[in-house]
Structure 1
C-alpha cells in the first residue's frame, strides 16, 4: 500500500519577476476582455484605416495614400491603448480602492507599472498584427528599411503615453479622467496622429511637432513611408516620457 504524497508547496514567496508577469497577464486579460477598450483599441482604428484608404479626405500629403494612412493609424492604436484605455481603467481602479490594495501589497508601485507596461506592449503587438493585416489587404507596402525604426518609435510612444495616462489617472477624479481621456484622444487625431503636421497651419504645426502626438505620428510616417530614422521625434517622445513619469511619481495618488 503506497503512502499518499502531500501536495507540493511552493518553496518560497513569488519573486518580483513572477509577480510582475502575473500582473501583466491580468492587465492583458482585462484589456482584451473589455468591450469598450477593444472598441477604442481595434474597432475604431480599423474603421479609420478603411475610411482613409477608400476616400480622398483629409489631404495626407505626398506618398501613397494607403502607406501614409497606415502609419497614422498604427500611431492611433498606440495612443488608444497606452493612453486612453489605461488612463480610464486606472482612474476607476483608483476610485474603487483597487490601487490602494495593490500599492501596499507585495506587487508595489514598480510591479503595477511593469504589469501595465507589459500588458500595453502585448496588446499593441496584437494591434500591429491585426491592423497590418487589414492594411496589407488594402495594398499597404511598408518601406523595409523603416520597420526597425518604426518599432522603436512604437516603444517610445507607448512609454510616453502610458506615463501621461498614469499622470492623468493619478491626479484627476475618475469621472474627469473619463472625459479628459476621450477629449484628448479626439483632439490628438488632428494634431499629428492621423494628419501629418506639415498639413496643418503653420502656427498649429509648430505646436503639434513638440506634442507627443505629432512626434509619434510623424515618426511612424518617416519610418514606414520614407524608411528614415526619426531621431528628432524620438527625443520629443523621450522628453515627454521623462516629464510625465516624474510628474506621476511626484503627484500620483493611490486613492481618491
Structure 2
C-alpha cells in the first residue's frame, strides 16, 4: 500500500509539473490554428492592411496636417495610423471573426477540448501580434518610400506601446465577441472604431476638439496608444509615462473582463 501510495503521489506530482508545458503546447497549437484561419480570411486581412495605408497616403497627400515648418507630415501621421491599424486588427478584425466563430459553433467545439478560455484568448492575441508585424512593416515602408520618413525615437518604448495596445484592443474585440451576438459585435466594433479614429488624436490633434470632448478623449485607450506612440517615435524618444500607465490600466481591465465574460456558445 505504501508503494502504491508513493507511486500515486509521484504520478500526481508529475502531472502537475507537466501542466504548464501542456498548456503552453495547447496555446502554441491554437496560435498556429488561428494564423491558418487568418490566412484564409484573405479579404478581411486585405482590408486590415490596406485601410491604414490608404489613410496615411490620403492625409499625407492633402497637406492639411497641422505641422510646423520643415516637419514631415508622415512623422505626425505615422504613430496615429499605426494606432488605427492596431485597433483595426484587434478590435475589428479579431472581434468580428471570433463573434462569427461563436455563432457558427466553432468555439463550442473548442470548449470541449483541454484549451481554457484564457488559453484561447492568449492564442488569438499572439496571432494578432503576428499580423501587426506585417502592418508595421508595410506602413513604415510606405512612409519611408513615399514621404522620406526615417526612424527616430526609442524603438523599445514604441514596441512596448504596440504590445500594450494590441492586448487592449484585441481583448476589447474578444470581450464583445464572447458576450454579445455576432450582429451586435459587428455593429459595436465598427462604431467604436469610428469613435476611436475621431477621438484618438492620430489624425486630428486633441487640442483641435472642443474642451469637454478633448478631456474625455484623454481617458480613452485610443488616445493613450496614439500619444504613447507619438512620444516614443519623436526625435526625443522620451518615456510616455501617463499614456503607458493609462494603456496598461485599460489592458488589464479589459483583458480580465474578456476572460471572465467570454462564452463558448
Determine the structure 2 residue equivalent to 1:5: none
More displaced 10-residue stretch of structure 1: 233-242 or 244-253? 244-253
- Pick the aligned partner of 1:97 from 92, 100, 105: 105
1:53 aligns with 2:60: yes
Retained in 1: the 8 A contact 2:118–2:259? no
- Aligned ranges 1:57-206 → 2 under 5 Å: 57=64, 59-62=65-68, 63-138=71-146, 139-143=148-152, 145-192=153-200, 193-206=202-215
User: Which structure 1 residue ranges, 5 or more long, are not aligned?
Assistant: 1-11
Q: 1:34 to 1:66 in 2, by over 3 A?
A: same
2:35 and 2:207 mapped to 1: Cα distance? 36
Distance 1:200 1:49, change over 3 A: same
Normalization by structure 2: what TM-score?
Answer: 0.85
Tell me, yes or no, if the aligned pair for 2:206 and 2:217 is still in contact at 8 Å. Answer: yes
Q: Give the aligned partner of residue 236 of structure 1.
A: 246
CA shift in 2, pair 1:61/1:236, >3 Å: farther
Q: What residue is the counterpart of 2:8 in the other structure?
A: none
Instruction: Write out per-residue CA displacement over residues 5-48 of structure 1, whole angstroms, 9 at most, x where no aligned residue.
Output: xxxxxxx9993222211211221232233133223321101101
Distance in 1, Cα, partners of 2:238 & 2:37:
36
Q: For this pair of structures, how many residues does the alignment match?
A: 242
How much has 1:60 moved relative to structure 2?
A: 4.1
Task: Name stretches of at least 5 consecutive residues in structure 2 with no aligned partner.
Answer: 1-17
TM-score w.r.t. the length of structure 1 is 0.88
For residue 51 of structure 2, the aligned residue among 28, 32, 44 is 44
State the distance in 2 between where 1:51 and 1:173 align: 34
- Against the structure 1 CA distance between its residues 39 and 203, is the aligned structure 2 distance closer, same or farther, given a 3 Å change threshold? farther
Give the aligned partner of residue 233 of structure 2. Answer: 224
CA contact (8 A) 1:87 1:168 kept: yes
**Residue 31 of structure 1, aligned match among 38, 49, 55:** 38
**Does 2:222 correspond to 1:210?**
no
The equivalent residue for 2:5 is none
Bigger radius of gyration, 1 or 2? 2
Q: Deviation of residue 133 (structure 1)?
A: 0.7
SS at match of 1:164: helix
